[in-house]
Amino acid sequence: MRYTVLTAFLLTPLFANAEAYERPVPQSQSATAEFWFMIASFALIIALWGVQKLVSRR
């Protein structure tokens, strides 16, 4: 019985077939996503400008 279990454990990897890895394809951005990214970028620039003005006064 020991040899049967040992043989089963040793032969198990031979029957396992793994699928090859396929890299995910990035999706293109929509015009709406680009618009909101532009708005967020401008908001960040304005916020950084405001912080610079606040810090330079002190």
According to the 3-state scheme, what is the secondary structure of the chain? CHHHHHHHHHHHHHHCCCCCCCCCCCCCCCHHHHHHHHHHHHHHHHHHHHHHHHHHHC
Which pTM does this prediction carry?
Answer: 0.51
Per-residue confidence band for 6, with pLDDT thresholds at 50, 70 and 90: confident
Query: What does the pLDDT read at residue 58?
Result: 64
